[in-house]
Amino acid sequence: MYQQINLYQPVFRRQRKVFSAATLLQIIGIAAVLLLGFYSHAQWTLHGLDSTVTSLSTQYQQLEARLGILESAGSDSGSGISAEVERLQQTLIKRQALLDGFSRLDFRESTAFSEFFETLARQTLPGLWLTGISLTEDGETELRGSTLNPTLVPRYLQAMPGQPRFVALHQGSVHLTRTDTEKTAVDFILSSNAGEEL
């Protein structure tokens, strides 16, 4: 008695696995650690800027008080006090310029970098991964990545939320390149600058 077996059935074909669940969990874990590191560094930097601003403000108030005392006593003394007053006024101008510079560096309300990274961490699409992120204080954003299927890039863009940086990516440029013609993987660049030459 003979039995015929069809070896071309899907049951006998080896299924190709792109990423295992363990690999995906490792990638997500590494991304979460990196984002936490970025967030911690930003918080540490902001704390340092806050303490510097507080120190400069205190020094500014002390100098202003000294200047007031010297100006009130200036009529009694001679040219030595007027020279001291002039020197203190110059110091006040420099400290005020420093305070103005620090107030421009305070980017907590204007650019929410940590919120952007948190949203990116939640924005996952199987078969598409990010390889680079570039952000500027002016609001320009660039995301670099790779995908096994080029049709995933528009789906990734459509799934982005309505935050200002993501809206700018919708209105920006998309650049797709295939570095190796033998492979199906495609590199992409999403930029908020629509006129940028890539």
Length of the chain: 198
Q: What is the DSSP string of 55-82?
A: HHHHHHHHHHHHHHHHHHHTTTS-HHHH
Average pLDDT over residues 168-196: 80
* Residue at 184 is within a domain: yes
* Residue at 35 is within a domain: no
State whether 134 and 182 are in the same domain.
Answer: yes
* Residue at 5 is within a domain: no
Q: What is the pLDDT, as a whole number, of residue 106?
A: 52
* Residue at 170 is within a domain: yes
* Residue at 137 is within a domain: yes
* Residue at 36 is within a domain: no
Write down the pTM of the prediction. Answer: 0.42
Point out the domain boundary residue: 105, 136, 152: 105
* Residue at 27 is within a domain: no
* Residue at 26 is within a domain: no
pLDDT at 7 over 50: yes
pLDDT at 10 over 80: no
CB 125 within 8 A of CB 159: yes
Q: DSSP character for 77?
A: S
Q: What is the pLDDT, as a whole number, of residue 40?
A: 93
State whether 129 and 185 are in the same domain.
Answer: yes
State whether 130 and 96 are in the same domain.
Answer: no
The better pLDDT of the pair 170, 41 is held by 41
Domain range for 53? 44-105
Q: Tell me, what CATH number does 165's domain have?
A: 3.30.1360
pLDDT at 32 over 90: yes
State whether 145 and 91 are in the same domain.
Answer: no
When divided into structural domains, the chain yields a total of 2
CA separation for the pair 56, 145 (Å, rounded) = 43
CB 57 within 8 A of CB 99: yes
Q: Could you tell me which of 97, 108, 2 has the C-alpha nearest to residue 47?
A: 108
State whether 139 and 186 are in the same domain.
Answer: yes
CA separation for the pair 155, 39 (Å, rounded) = 28
State whether 101 and 55 are in the same domain.
Answer: yes
pLDDT tens profile 132-153: 888 877 778 888 998 888 888 8
State whether 133 and 179 are in the same domain.
Answer: yes
